[in-house]
Amino acid sequence: MIKKILIILLIVTALTFSGCVESTENTLESAEDIITTVDDISDTIDDIESDIADTPQIEPSETLVIGAFNVQIFGVSKADKPEVMKVLADIVRTYDVVAIQEIRDASQTALPELVDLVNTDGSEYDYIVSERLGRTSSKEQYAYIYNTRTVEITGIPETYPEPEGTDPFHRQPYIAAVSSTQGNFDAVLIVIHTDPDEATEEINDLDDVLAYAQSVYPEENDFVVMGDFNADGSYFDEDSTSDLDAYHWVIDDTVDTTTKSTDYTYDRIVLTDNSDLTGDSGVFRYDLEYGLSEELTTDVSDHYPVFATFSINEIED
């Protein structure tokens, strides 16, 4: 009400001093017109204020959560299971950027369907996706799903170009540079899903991929190599040396990244620089977080997602 009175007084005063009001009768008619107009304006303002009040307020964050998730044969069959897709959407929302592996979908529909579901709660996620990769007819894709409110893609995402005459990877790693929209953290991400039968060789060849990425982004210090390395069990000797030993393995040999009765650390995150790492990292036990049955847990995937949390407000990055 006070808002209306103030607007009326201001308009009438303006009309009076501008010579627009010539008589008491005209003044009353003008005032009635003004009141009607102000009522309309006030209702519009109230609607706008209500919309603003209903809009979720995004609190600036001081950290960025990055990780990887092998979703296990992610395609139209899995996308047709609403309860599984809901869990996947909930998982994605816990990340600022997550590297998805084992997308097997010739129709190219499952991934956009998942991202659309993620955004049904008002979130604003987007994705970039690699070409279909693999030496056999069973092709896979990598994708980075990211929160556009906190992360932006910089540079041009690319699949690692294997040197001519070589074929070290069944599925070449996918490389993308990212930057925080709310701080000064940036990094180059490299995701890999190794072939189990050649896991040791492919893990050692990741050093060449890292060197390539460093040549493309010579000013960058933060490189994050992650994904399903198959780095355990009969596929990889954890006690052996690796060409990546010089770097920081965030997910160490003590962690179980499988959802079934097995106890293997297949999934890894390796950092060239851990100065921005907050210390919060590990496996996201979505079964415990969401109270899922064992059946639904394994329907979602035979892997748990892995993650690492980074500070975005360091003085230098």
Question: Which pLDDT score, from 0 to 100, does residue 32 have?
Answer: 63
The lowest-confidence range among 202-211, 241-250, 265-274 is 241-250
Give dist(CA 214, CA 224) in Å, integer. Answer: 11
Instruction: Please say which residue of 28, 54, 80 terminates a domain.
Output: 54
pLDDT tens for 88-106 read 999 999 999 999 999 999 9
pLDDT number for residue 60:
67
**Is residue 258 domain-shared with residue 230, that is, in the same domain?**
yes
**Is residue 317 in a domain?**
no
Residues 61-81: tens digit of each pLDDT: 899 999 999 999 999 999 999
Do 161 and 181 belong together in one domain?
Answer: yes
Res. 107 pLDDT band, cuts 50 70 90? very high
The answer to whether residues 47 and 112 belong to one domain is: no
Q: Residue 214 has which token pair? A: 């460093």
Q: What is the structure's pLDDT at 289?
A: 98
> Looking at the structure, do residues 78 and 149 belong to the same domain, yes or no?
yes
Query: Average pLDDT in the 155-179 region?
Result: 98
> Are residues 207 and 269 located together in one domain of the fold?
yes
Domain that holds residue 31: 2-54
Q: How many folded domains does the chain comprise?
A: 2
- The domain spanning residue 163 has which CATH number? 3.60.10.10
Please list the helix, strand and coil fractions of the chain in percent, rounded to the nearest 5, in that order.
35, 25, 40
Is the same domain home to 226 and 92?
Answer: yes
- How many CA atoms, within 13 angstroms, populate the side-chain half-sphere of residue 285? 8
- In this structure, is residue 316 part of a structural domain? no
Domain-embedded: residue 82: yes
Do 172 and 28 fall into the same domain?
Answer: no
Q: Which residues, at least 6 apart from 66, have a Cβ–Cβ distance to it below 8 Å?
A: 95, 96, 97, 98, 178, 187, 189, 224, 226, 269, 307, 308, 309, 310
Helix (H) or strand (E) holding 3: helix 2-17
What stretches of 68-219 show up as alpha helix (H) in DSSP? 76-79, 82-93, 110-118, 199-216
User: Which pLDDT score, from 0 to 100, does residue 316 have?
Assistant: 60
Which one of 37, 54, 71 terminates a domain? Answer: 54
46 pLDDT band, cuts 50/70/90, is low
Residue positions counted in the chain: 317
pLDDT at 9 over 70: no
Strand partners, 66: 97, 308
In a domain, 131, yes or no: yes
| pTM metric for this prediction | 0.82
Say how far apart CA 186 and CA 261 lie, in whole Å: 37
Residues 266, 136: Cα–Cα separation, whole Å = 22
List the catalytic residues. 140, 193
Token representation of residue 172? 């070449």
